[in-house]
Amino acid sequence: MKFIRMMLKNIRRNLIGSLVIVLGTMVLVPVVIFVWSILAFLDAATDEKSKNFKGIVTERWRLPSQMPFAYAASLSDGAASKPGDVKPEDSMTWQFYGGTLDPEKRTRENSLFAIATEPRKLCTMMDELDTLPPEEAAKLDEAIQEMERNRQAIIMGQDRLAAVNKRVGERIKLYGINYRDLDLELEIVGTFPEGRYDNTAAINRDYLLAALDAYERQTGKPHPLADKTLNLVWLRVPDSEAFAQVAGQILASPNYTSPAVKFETAASGIASFLDAYRDLIWGMRWLLAPALLFTLALVISNAISISVRERQTELAVLKVLGFRPWQIMVLVLGEASLVGLLAGLCSAGATFATVNLVFGGFKFPIAFFGAFFIPAEALAWGVGVGLLTALLGSVMPAWTASRIRVSEVFAKVA
């Protein structure tokens, strides 16, 4: 306790050095937390689950996947065709439609990527939408019911809605980008809750299919993408055993030969989508995060080295009073570690509260993930980063302090 009291007094007496450590920690710890939050989320998204499996059916040999819509019904049943076959607990089809509000001057702001699907599946198959708070769930359910009544309805992410400068209740016309000459007139009936789907939009798949039929009637020939509109089929199964059975049914079925399909876990499928970001993720994990930690340790080391040089006389007096070298070393290490720990905890707590509660996550679009949240584990990360970098940064200054020669110090004073 005496040692701790002495550490606290020294921290208070050396405010400038302590403030440098605090400011360095407060600036760099949030950046480390942002990086680790993204990596933790992506790791969780690509981790296999032991229960409540989700699988993705895609075209086997082509990316992006483009399957005939005729596959949809049987794939949604897991290719079950005889007694004893396993059927998925739930399913969902995805057809990707990209459009722009201005065909003459297309920009990122006026472009829109939409998922054409069955409206009622949004709340049962889309991650995080099945666990919304009651108020948000009721609002989204109201929009979904409207989408089922009105096949020209669209639900948009809040950031995308703001980017195109529209409001709920307005009508828009999308000019097809991937579906050339296939334009959709849509009514905005609601928004997704703030967070993961801020830049996503969903439309009724029946409207897209009807537009394809209308194109054929008007032109006398099918649209170039008419026989390959189905991009993904999501299937939910209870466990790995059921997953293996459904996979066997799909791969053994003669109905999916041209084109051939594959069935993989959602984690594996998401990992495939993230393959384009492999270098970015690798750099964040093995270059950016270590560089930030090294920088923080270097800042702390410099601050403590300056403090040790300024306190040489004080440290020499402690040695005269009987303090041993290891005690001097522990004193310096302890002061830095205590400041780093407290600064890391405060920084992590402020980051968690500000990002999650004030801003509703931070925007860093990777693949189809639009926003990321700071996990509760970040509080432990902040403490760990603050403590570890302070400890590492203070090792050399503490060693220098323990090796101070009393005679040399007092000779300079004299």
Assess contact for 119 and 259: CB atoms under 8 A: no
Same domain, residue pair 141 and 68: yes
Assess contact for 144 and 119: CB atoms under 8 A: yes
Q: Is residue 51 part of a domain?
A: no
So what's the pLDDT on residue 365?
67
Assess contact for 76 and 235: CB atoms under 8 A: yes
For the chain, the average pLDDT equals 89
Q: How far is 170 from 255, CA to CA, in rounded Å? A: 42
Q: Which of 259, 289, 312 is the last residue of a domain?
A: 259
Q: What percent of the chain has pLDDT over 70?
A: 94
Same domain, residue pair 319 and 406: yes
Q: Domain span at residue 358?
A: 2-45+278-413
Q: How far is 5 from 12, CA to CA, in rounded Å? A: 11
Domains held by the chain: number: 2
Same domain, residue pair 238 and 342: no
So what's the pLDDT on residue 14?
81
pLDDT higher at 410 or 31? 31
Q: Is residue 273 part of a domain?
A: no
At 340 the three-state DSSP class reads: helix
Same domain, residue pair 6 and 68: no
- Average pLDDT of the residues in 365-370: 65
Q: Which helix (H) or strand (E) holds 2?
A: helix 2-13
pLDDT of 249-288, one tens digit each? 999 999 999 999 999 987 776 666 666 677 877 888 888 8
C-alpha distance from residue 199 to each of 116, 118, 137 (Å): 15, 19, 19
Q: Which of 220, 111, 200 is nearest to 155 (CA)?
A: 200
So what's the pLDDT on residue 213?
97
Local confidence band at 153 (pLDDT 50, 70, 90 cut-offs):
very high
Q: Is residue 55 part of a domain?
A: no
Same domain, residue pair 125 and 251: yes
So what's the pLDDT on residue 210?
97
Residue 10, pLDDT above cutoff 70? yes
Same domain, residue pair 306 and 225: no
pLDDT higher at 198 or 156? 156
Same domain, residue pair 22 and 70: no
Q: Which of 230, 259, 288 is the last residue of a domain?
A: 259
Give me the half-sphere count of Cα atoms (radius 13 Å) on the Cβ side of residue 193: 21
Same domain, residue pair 236 and 374: no
Q: How far is 25 from 341, CA to CA, in rounded Å? A: 9
Same domain, residue pair 114 and 228: yes
Q: How far is 124 from 215, CA to CA, in rounded Å? A: 32
So what's the pLDDT on residue 265?
86
DSSP notation for 140-172: HHHHHHHHHH-TTEEEE-HHHHHHTT--TT-EE
Strand pairing class (184-191; 171-176): antiparallel
Same domain, residue pair 289 and 229: no
Q: Is the peptide bond before 222 cis (omega within 30 degrees of 0)?
A: no
pLDDT higher at 189 or 23? 189
Q: How far is 323 from 326, CA to CA, in rounded Å? A: 8
Same domain, residue pair 302 and 392: yes
Entry field: residues in the chain: 414
Q: Which of 232, 259, 286 is the last residue of a domain?
A: 259
Q: How far is 41 from 404, CA to CA, in rounded Å? A: 48
Distance of CA 176 to the CA centre of its chain: 29
Helices and strands, number each (H, E), in the chain: 15, 11
Q: Is residue 56 part of a domain?
A: no
Q: How far is 66 from 61, CA to CA, in rounded Å? A: 10
Q: Is residue 327 part of a domain?
A: yes
pLDDT of 76-90, one tens digit each? 999 999 999 999 999
Same domain, residue pair 214 and 283: no
So what's the pLDDT on residue 91?
96
Q: Is residue 318 part of a domain?
A: yes
So what's the pLDDT on residue 128?
86
pLDDT of 208-254, one tens digit each? 999 999 999 999 999 999 999 999 999 999 888 899 999 999 999 99
- Average pLDDT of the residues in 81-100: 95
Q: Is residue 357 part of a domain?
A: yes
